[in-house]
Amino acid sequence: MIVDTHCHLDDHRYDEDLETVLQRAREKGVKRFIIPGADPRTLERAVEIAQKHEDVYFAVGVHPYDMEHYDREYLESFVDHPKCVAIGECGLDYYRLPEDPSEAEAEKVRQKEVFVDQIEWAKALKKPLIVHIREASADSLALLEEHAGEEGGVLHCYNADATLLKLAKRNFYYGIGGVLTFKNARKLVNVFPQIPQEKLLIETDAPYLTPHPFRGKRNEPAYCTYVAEKMCELSGLSREQMETLTTTNVQRLFSI
Ligand code: NI
């Protein structure tokens, strides 16, 4: 079995056909799903999906793009739910900072505050983190090294920055998604063998980052199989070994 450790099933792009999307995934062997909490405005939807489906779990947090909606008190009302397995998706994203240097600096400061608050919160709750890092490796590494608890977490791996591999020793895992299948994914393909196998997870980030050969279309958890195939090709593991490995990793990190 495969676990999609990062799929935004609360996204409005699944409003029409979520049941079919889940069914297609299950038929491909994708049997558990984790919805990261990115935008608090759809958190209730995530909880509703997790309550309806035994195989769906969720996390509570705020993505850097949605940080103006960060309200810790509101989020706290969801963390005791039995299906809440992590804090995040939180992190740093310097990809689209304002052009004005002082505005950009202020944005970075604010992102770091919101990120640290969520790291500390996860530590207090003894829950793992789901971390998004884009063009912000050095700052993210510094903050995680300083603040993260023993529970660690998972990093989205599309930046493929080898410096972040240091965090494996701090119990961080690496979520491998569709980017690995892209024709121009040389960076991630090169970093991939350096990731300790006991720290590999599979994710889609659906509806984003659709793997080859569907790149450009809406992504969905069933496409985990394309990621798994590529991981097998690069590691020499059989499909069965890869599924056992990554599912064991999921169970260790998220206790599901
Ligand atoms: Ni995401």
Query: Full-prediction pTM beyond 0.95?
Result: yes
**Tell me, what's the pLDDT at 161?**
87
Model confidence pLDDT, tens digit, residues 190-215: 999 999 999 999 999 999 999 999 99
Give the Å distance between the CA of 6 and the centre of ligand 1.
6
Query: Containing H/E element for 165?
Result: none
What is the number of structural domains in the chain?
1
**Tell me, what's the pLDDT at 166?**
95
Give the Å distance between the CA of 10 and the centre of ligand 1.
11
**Tell me, what's the pLDDT at 243?**
98
**Tell me, what's the pLDDT at 234?**
96
Q: Which residues of the chain have pLDDT under 50?
A: none
Burial (0-12, 13-18, 19+ Cβ within 10 Å), 139: middle
CATH no. for residue 72?
Answer: 3.20.20.140
CA 208, 31, 25: angle at the middle one, nearest 5?
Answer: 50
The answer to whether 117 touches 126, Cβ cutoff 8 Å, is no
Give the Å distance between the CA of 54 and the centre of ligand 1.
21
Please state, in angstroms and rounded to a whole number, the distance separating the CA atoms of residues 248 and 251: 5
Domain that holds residue 145: 2-254
Query: What are the tokens at 243?
Result: 């599924």
Give the Å distance between the CA of 16 and the centre of ligand 1.
20
Give the Å distance between the CA of 156 and the centre of ligand 1.
8
Give the Å distance between the CA of 7 and the centre of ligand 1.
7
